[in-house]
Every structure is written in C-alpha cells, then in structure tokens.
Amino acid sequence: MKLELSHLLPFAALVSASPIKAPSIHAPSHLFARQDLQTPINGTLPNVTIFSTGGTIASQGTSNTQTVGYSVGLGVQQLVDAVPEILNISNIVGYQVSNVGSPSINETILLELARGINSELAKDEVSGAVVTHGTDSMEETAFFLQSVINSTKPVVVVGAMRPATALSADGPLNLLQAVTLASSDNAKDRGVMITLNDRIGSAYYTTKNNANSLDTFYSTEAGQLGFFINQVPYFYFEPAKPIGATYFDLKNITDLAQVDILYAHQDMAPELFNASVEAGAEGLVTAGMGAGGLSSKASMAAEAVYNATGIPIVASHRSADGFVPSSDDSYAIASGFYNPQKARILLQLALTMGYDYDEIKELFALSYPAP
Ligand SMILES: *[C@@H]1O[C@H](CO)[C@@H](O)[C@H](O)[C@H]1NC(C)=O
Ligand SMILES: *[C@@H]1O[C@H](CO)[C@@H](O)[C@H](O)[C@H]1NC(C)=O
Ligand SMILES: *[C@@H]1O[C@H](CO)[C@@H](O)[C@H](O)[C@H]1NC(C)=O
Ligand SMILES: *[C@@H]1O[C@H](CO)[C@@H](O)[C@H](O)[C@H]1NC(C)=O
Ligand SMILES: *[C@@H]1O[C@H](CO)[C@@H](O)[C@H](O)[C@H]1NC(C)=O
Ligand SMILES: *[C@@H]1O[C@H](CO)[C@@H](O)[C@H](O)[C@H]1NC(C)=O
Ligand SMILES: *[C@@H]1O[C@H](CO)[C@@H](O)[C@H](O)[C@H]1NC(C)=O
Ligand SMILES: *[C@@H]1O[C@H](CO)[C@@H](O)[C@H](O)[C@H]1NC(C)=O
C-alpha cells in the first residue's frame, strides 16, 4: 500500500499545530541566495544564520519506518518550519547552499560555505552560524570550516541519522540544539563544533563511528566539549582552540588541490600510487595499517612516486583512532593525530596555499608540539 506522504511528515504536522508563525524563506533561485524573512524580527533575540546543504536531516523516506535508502529534498524553510521553538531562541536567516547527500559535497560547496559564513559572521548583529549537513562527510566539512573561518563566534555543523519522516526523527531536536549553541555566548572561542544526539564535539577530532546508529559522532581519545541537558548546552572545559588549528585565508581561491586517499590492506596494489598521480592527484594520503604501515611493495611504489614527482604523501592510519609518528628517514609525512579524511583536507589546504614539502611537514607536526 502506498501511504500518503502528508500523513507521514512530522514537519507538516508541526507546522499546522504551531502557535507561532514560522519565517517564510523563499526558494532559492541559485546557489547561495539569501532567503527573505517575513516574520517580524524580535530585536532582543540573537540572530543565527542557517546554511543548508542537504543530507538526512533534509530527507524523506516513503514510510515512517524507513531509515536507509531515503532521498534528500527538504529545503531550509521546511527544516525551520518543523521546529517553531527555534524562533523563541533566535531570529533566523536561511541560505540554501545545496541540497545533496554529503558524499556529494564538493569543493564548490565548501568554498561557498566558507565565504558565506565568514561574511555573515563579520556582521555585528549575527551571533553564530549553523550548517545543516549530511552525516557521512560532516567531519570533513567541519574540519575544513575550522581551518578557513576567522571568527570567535560559534559555527555549528549539525545533521540527523534518521530522515524527517521516521518515527522519532532526530533532526528537529538536533537543529534546535544547534541554533541554541550558535546563539550561546558560552559557545564562543571553541572553534567549529559538531552537535548531534545531545553531544557537542570539536570539529577537529569528532568522527562518525557507526554507519547507522544515532549515537555515532564522538571522539574516543580527545572526548567531548559538552552536552545538552534540557536543551541547555553545558561545557566540560573553558573555551580553547584545538592544538594545531591553522587559519587559511581562502579569499582569492576558486578551487582546491586534488588529494586522494589510498586505503592500505594486505596485498595492496602498488599501481594505485601511479594511477592517482596520473589522474591528477597533487598530494596523497595513505590510510595505513597500524601506525601508518604499508606492505613493502606498496611502500616501495609510494617512495618511487615521491622520488619521481616530489608530491607530498601523508601517512595516516586506517584504525579509527591513533597517532602516526614522524620519521626522519621516510619520504612520508606523518599525519600525527589526523585521520585520513581530515589529513586530506589539511593537505588540500596547504597545497592550495602553495606550501612546500617542509612547510607541509611542519603544518602536520603542529598538532603534536614537542613537550
Ligand atoms: C522577544 O524575545 C524575548 C526574549 O525571549 C521575549 O521575552 C519577548 O516576549 C519576545 N517578543 C515577542 C514580540 O515575541
Ligand atoms: C538581531 O538583528 C536585529 C535586526 O537586525 C537587531 O535589531 C538585533 O539587535 C540583533 N540581535 C542581536 C543580539 O544582536
Ligand atoms: C515561545 O515562547 C512563548 C513565551 O514564553 C510561549 O508562549 C510559546 O509557547 C513558545 N513557543 C514555542 C513554539 O515554543
Ligand atoms: C558541486 O556540486 C554543486 C551542487 O550539486 C554543483 O552545482 C557544482 O557544479 C559542483 N562542483 C563541481 C566542481 O563539481
Ligand atoms: C581575523 O579576524 C580578526 C578580527 O576580526 C582580524 O583582526 C584579523 O586580522 C583576522 N585575521 C586574518 C588572518 O585575516
Ligand atoms: C586577493 O586579491 C586581491 C586583488 O588581487 C589582493 O589585493 C589581495 O591581497 C588578495 N588577498 C589574499 C589574501 O591573497
Ligand atoms: C610507476 O610509474 C613509473 C614511471 O612511469 C614506472 O617506472 C613504475 O614502474 C610504476 N610503478 C608501478 C608500481 O606501477
Ligand atoms: C628514492 O630516493 C632515495 C634517495 O635518493 C633512494 O635512497 C631510494 O632508494 C629511492 N627509492 C625508490 C623506491 O626508488
């Protein structure tokens, strides 16, 4: 039996039951149009700008029990409509940057996001920014934003593990918490944060640990920054920025350097290193075994590529957590604490800004300063 979608949409139900009028956000005509707000602004409230990129938080299934295989499609207007409580916390302005699943977030979207957020946060009246995003590559976008936003104001990346149509969808509460965090004075000077499932984590170390579970975002070793209790954010620490966090000014940048990740395993094909370079990679990251290990054949192939081209090869780890130490007699640059997907973003930024091999090595070493 095909169910009527309107019966399944908690968003739609919430809107009609809403005691207050949600802001009207016009459909965007092109990437990044500022959306018009039609509700009166409450001048005593903070102002938060939401940048919507798509993802599960903006997705609908065909039934309220479907939690995989749904499709992206809800706009920033519908996200906000679903949670009228947000308008008691903050005035909202929305930008629809894209409407894609996060595997399809690309450099165009990242650069537009960085520019949009920097320009919103430069306005005195804006307290913070929220990015709604798919969870699959959320940590990459969050790490990228941490590296390219020059502001003490909170930037919060948020998503959902269940589509909007699911029984106990997590998107609405996550969004309310994200806006609360972005408008909170207490959240300043903490870098870019990821919040889902009541937890507040640093963009630097938070990673997606489970492909399906709600409680998937955390950082085993570095821990959480804070937690929501009754929708109030509580922090465990004073504000601090992650060690090694470096700011890159992307003002004049139109594209990012191509960096590929090669996943190590038993009998890894050594040809992959050449193939990546032939396909245009300007840098490589290996998801190595243990603390960055490759088979001797793969290691020889990587070294030969380095000898022939001089492109930086960063050794990271395929284990969920851990550290790859630096070695003076290796062609490879140690990733330190950065997992492969974060190491890739950092290497992209460094190459884009014209860093040479030694500068890149120093950049990675900043995350583990000598005691
Ligand atoms: C504006 O926000 C303040 C603070 O939450 C609240 O006390 C006040 O009632 C709001 N005003 C209107 C007109 O909603
Ligand atoms: C929010 O924006 C409104 C309208 O621009 C402004 O009057 C108000 O002061 C801003 N709120 C804060 C806390 O800056
Ligand atoms: C917003 O706050 C007012 C005043 O406290 C309250 O009456 C109203 O129910 C709140 N609206 C929502 C959607 O929480
Ligand atoms: C990135 O994705 C957006 C939205 O799908 C698209 O408009 C843009 O052309 C893409 N950019 C590249 C470089 O593929
Ligand atoms: C970052 O922002 C601060 C405060 O607005 C400004 O003084 C500083 O020059 C900016 N840094 C860079 C590298 O643009
Ligand atoms: C960007 O380009 C403009 C114009 O060429 C130049 O004045 C400015 O210094 C550049 N900014 C950066 C950060 O490279
Ligand atoms: C990589 O390419 C170089 C130069 O074309 C070649 O000599 C070498 O055998 C290739 N290595 C592998 C593992 O394919
Ligand atoms: C790479 O170059 C170094 C230094 O010249 C050399 O010792 C090493 O054998 C070369 N490695 C490969 C795989 O060609």
Q: Are strands 192-196 and 155-158 parallel, antiparallel or unpaired?
A: parallel
**C-beta 359 within 6 A of ligand 6:** no
How many Å apart are CA 53 and CA 104, to the nearest integer?
A: 10
**DSSP classification of residue 68:** S
The label of the residue with tokens 């009754």 reads 230
Q: Which of 249, 251, 253, 349 to mutate to test the pocket of ligand 6 (most atoms within 8 A of CB)?
A: 251
Catalytic-labelled residue, pool 49, 53, 56, 286: 56
| Model pLDDT, residue 287 | 98
What number does the ligand 4 atom closest to the CA of 106 have?
A: 1
Q: Residue 299, by phi and psi: left (phi above 0), alpha (psi -120 to 50) or beta?
A: alpha
**C-beta 251 within 6 A of ligand 6:** yes
| Model pLDDT, residue 25 | 36
Instruction: Quick: pLDDT tens for 190-232.
Output: 999 999 999 999 999 999 999 999 999 999 999 999 999 999 9
**C-beta 300 within 6 A of ligand 8:** yes
Could you tell me what percentage of the chain is helix, strand and coil, using 3-state DSSP and rounding each to the nearest 5?
Answer: 30, 20, 50
| Model pLDDT, residue 243 | 93
How many Å apart are CA 1 and CA 212, to the nearest integer?
A: 26
Give the contacts of 164 (CB within 8 A, at least 6 positions apart). 9, 10, 11, 57, 58, 59, 60, 74, 78, 82, 171, 172
| Model pLDDT, residue 40 | 63
| Model pLDDT, residue 72 | 81
Binding-site residues from annotation for substrate: 102, 135-136
**C-beta 96 within 6 A of ligand 4:** no
- Written as six digits, the tokens of 82 are 């679903």
246 catalytic per annotation = no
| Model pLDDT, residue 19 | 31
Binding-site residues from annotation: 102, 135-136
| Low pLDDT (below 70) residues in the chain | 1-40
The label of the residue with tokens 């950049």 reads 363
| Model pLDDT, residue 212 | 94
Q: Whose CA is nearest to atom 13 of ligand 4?
A: 108
Question: Does the global pTM surpass 0.85?
Answer: yes
Instruction: Quick: pLDDT tens for 17-65.
Output: 233 333 333 333 344 555 554 456 899 999 999 999 998 888 888 888 8
Distance 151 CA to ligand 5 centre (A): 8
**C-beta 106 within 6 A of ligand 4:** yes
Domains and their CATH numbers in the chain: 5-235 (3.40.50.1170), 259-365 (3.40.50.40)
Q: Whose CA is nearest to atom 5 of ligand 6?
A: 252
What number does the ligand 2 atom closest to the CA of 124 have?
A: 14
Among the bound ligands, name the one nearest to the CA of residue 40. 1
| Model pLDDT, residue 3 | 29
How many Å apart are CA 362 and CA 365, to the nearest integer?
A: 5
| Model pLDDT, residue 35 | 58
- Written as six digits, the tokens of 155 are 């930037």
Q: Which of 41, 44, 47, 89 to mutate to test the pocket of ligand 1 (most atoms within 8 A of CB)?
A: 44
Q: Which of 307, 309, 331 to mutate to test the pocket of ligand 8 (most atoms within 8 A of CB)?
A: 307
- Written as six digits, the tokens of 243 are 């060690």
